[in-house]
Structures are given as C-alpha cells and as structure tokens.
Amino acid sequence: MAQASEHLKVQPGLPRTPRVTYRMTDLAAALAEPGALAVFGFGDGAPLSDDPRWLRVALESFDAPAPLELWQVDGEVSCGREDAVRWSCGGGWLFAAIELDERPYAGSEDAARTAYAALRQFMGTRGGYKVLRLWNYIGGINDGDGDWERYKQFCDGRAAGLGDFFAEGFPAATAIGHHHRSRVLQIYLLAGTDAGTAVENPRQVSAWRYPRQYGRTSPGFARAMLMPAQDALAISGTAAVVGHASTHEGDLEAQLNETLTNLEALLASADMPAGFDTHSPLKAYVRLPTDATRVRDLLQRRLPGVPVLLMHGDVCRSELLVEIDGWRFA
C-alpha cells in the first residue's frame, strides 16, 4: 500500500515474515506450495495427515466449506518430530506444535505445565529462535468456578511450565476454548531467528499486569508483535477489554465495535496505517453459534474485503462473546 512508506520502514536483510493466506484448496496442494511451513485445517471436516507441518485445529468453522490456512516462507523447508513436538523450519522461521490429550493429566493446569515444559525443552534444542507468536486452544475453557476455572488453571500451568523462558518479554498470543469431544490441548507457535518488537494497547492494561481478580497467574502475552523485518504485525486475541475490564456485557454488536476500536489502537501503536485490507487474514472467534451470522454481517460491513475466518470458539472470560486475532501486513 502506498501510504505504508510514511509509516513503518520495512527492514531489509531480516527474514521476511511468512505469508499467511486462506486457501480453498486441498491439503496435498497446500503442502506442495513453495516454502510451505505450516498448513491448518479447522474442525472435524478437515483431513488427517502425518505431515509435521499439518495441524487440524479442534475448532469448527462457521464457514462451509472452510478454507485451509497456509504459512509460506522464502527458502527450503525441513520438518520432523521430537517426542510430542511437531516442527518445521525454513527461511529463518520455525513452526512447532504440540497436542496433548488431557486425560492422563490431573487437569488443565497439569496439562498446560507439561505441554509448555515440552515446548520449552524443544526450543532449547533449536538454539537461538525467538518465539514471536503463540496460539492455545483449550477444551471447556470456562468450566469451573473462580480460580478453578479451566482457563485460570491453564494460566497457572503455562507459567509453571515456562519458568523464566519469556523473561525477556512475552510473545503475542491467543487462548480460545474449543468444543471438541476430545479434551485435547493444542498449542502452536511461530519463532524466528530475530527478535520482534512487542506492542501494547494504550487503551488496555497489559495482560501480565491484570489484577488478582482475573486469577492467581496473570496471562503472559503481548497485545501484538511487530515482526523483525517490520513487514507485519501479529495481533493477539483481542476482545472488548478496556483497562482490564470486560465491557458491554450481553451486547454483541457493542463488543464487536469495542474490539475493532482495540484493533485500530494496536495498528496506531505499531505505527501502521489504519485499517485492514485483502492481505490481512483475521479470525473471529464467536461463542454462540446463533451469533455467527450477525458477526459475519457486521464484519462484512466494517471490514469489507478482509479475509475473516469465522470460528466457533469461547473467549477466556465467559462474559465476552467475540474475539479477533490475525495479521496485518505492511
């Protein structure tokens, strides 16, 4: 876009951010694309494959048929498995994913601790990669009360498994509840050879400073991550949170508008031009299936032409009805 030059300056010499696109294609074709680092399918209709670059996300999409999501890097990609972790790397980028069946574990705290300790251990064997973006999909995220809510237990376990791994700063992240019959904890990440720049939202208290009422362990994530080459902003799960409080309880449209205001605040905070475009793939996570059509209509009006994948997912605070994450490429 022409106006981008007045804002961020893309840094030459640093690895270009993987291109993220939604594709109406089949898995084999997506994996055969040049520089295919990772491919994602959504819900039970997505295929199964042993390719380490493939992940079938446990969230159903309201888009039928749902597209695949493809990440592409410049350069050759290699991939493999190490214990429970699937990985691929190329072009200065590393994708890693872990899926843990929670049944053998005592609960979401135990499972999150185990999964994050495994990811940390794996990253230690790779040397030097910096985790820039993380996704967490958790079954029954709002089950349980108070500090025993499964999301809050997940936060405790995540922090315990990570230890001081993110002492230099948190990556951008998403944590969303799924409705799959299996209690699978899915975590995947994008890491790079170079550090990004964490971006906070001036309208929101940083998540790691959330007060005690939201749980024993504040969630460790940055609101967004400006990628090393400054050619893209990775946007964390963003909802109708202002300060540290949820707003517009029970009002879907007002929550969506507040969320869009937060997204614009993040773009401004990252010194990016306002607005999203056809190269800005987003996901909208909608709690109630009966709200899906309304969210689709509202987003088509507010974000015309923007590829938005509509997902059935629960925001980690039970009063929040919708959350959006995604990418803004410069």
Question: How far apart are alpha carbons 15 and 6 in whole angstroms?
Answer: 22
Does 295 bind ligand 3EB (CB under 6 A)? Our answer is no
Q: Is 300 helix (H, G, I), strand (E, B) or coil?
A: helix
Question: What minimum distance in Å lies between the beta carbon of 73 and ligand 3EB?
Answer: 25
Between 73 and 175, whose beta carbon lies closer to ligand 3EB? Answer: 175
Question: What minimum distance in Å lies between the beta carbon of 80 and ligand 3EB?
Answer: 27
Question: How far apart are alpha carbons 146 and 13 in whole angstroms?
Answer: 48
Task: List the structure tokens of 147.
Answer: 């500090």
Does 236 bind ligand 3EB (CB under 6 A)? Our answer is yes
> What is the DSSP annotation of 245-268?
EE-STT-HHHHHHHHHHHHHHHHH
| Binding-site member from 67, 219, 307, 313 for ligand 3EB (CB under 6 A) | 219
Residue 323 is a catalytic residue = yes
Task: List the structure tokens of 41.
Answer: 């399918």
Total chain residues near ligand 3EB (CB under 6 A): 12
| Binding-site member from 142, 174, 217, 255 for ligand 3EB (CB under 6 A) | 174
Question: What minimum distance in Å lies between the beta carbon of 174 and ligand 3EB?
Answer: 5
- The alpha carbons of the chain give a radius of gyration, in whole angstroms, of 18
Q: Is 22 helix (H, G, I), strand (E, B) or coil?
A: strand
Question: How far apart are alpha carbons 152 and 170 in whole angstroms?
Answer: 18
Between 210 and 276, whose beta carbon lies closer to ligand 3EB? Answer: 210
Choose the stretch contacting ligand 3EB; rule: CB under 6 A; options: 21-29, 96-104, 235-243, 298-306: 235-243
Choose the stretch contacting ligand 3EB; rule: CB under 6 A; options: 30-38, 86-94, 188-196, 232-240: 232-240
Question: What minimum distance in Å lies between the beta carbon of 9 and ligand 3EB?
Answer: 28
Question: What minimum distance in Å lies between the beta carbon of 74 and ligand 3EB?
Answer: 29
* Intra-chain end-to-end CA distance of the chain, in Å: 7
Q: Is 147 helix (H, G, I), strand (E, B) or coil?
A: helix
Q: Write down the H helix ranges in 288-329.
A: 292-302
16 DSSP 8-state letter: P
Question: How far apart are alpha carbons 112 and 189 in whole angstroms?
Answer: 14
Q: How many C-alpha atoms does 172 have within 13 Å on its Cβ side?
A: 27
Choose the stretch contacting ligand 3EB; rule: CB under 6 A; options: 45-53, 95-103, 234-242, 253-261: 234-242
| Binding-site member from 59, 115, 241, 265 for ligand 3EB (CB under 6 A) | 241
Question: How far apart are alpha carbons 52 and 161 in whole angstroms?
Answer: 23
Does 239 bind ligand 3EB (CB under 6 A)? Our answer is yes
Q: Which of residues 129-158 bind ligand 3EB (CB under 6 A)?
A: 136
Between 219 and 281, whose beta carbon lies closer to ligand 3EB? Answer: 219
Does 316 bind ligand 3EB (CB under 6 A)? Our answer is yes
Query: Pairing state of beta strands 172-178 and 130-139?
Result: parallel
Q: Which residues are catalytic?
A: 323
Please report, as ranges, the residues that interact with ligand 3EB according to CB under 6 A. Answer: 136, 173-175, 207, 219, 221, 236-237, 239, 241, 316
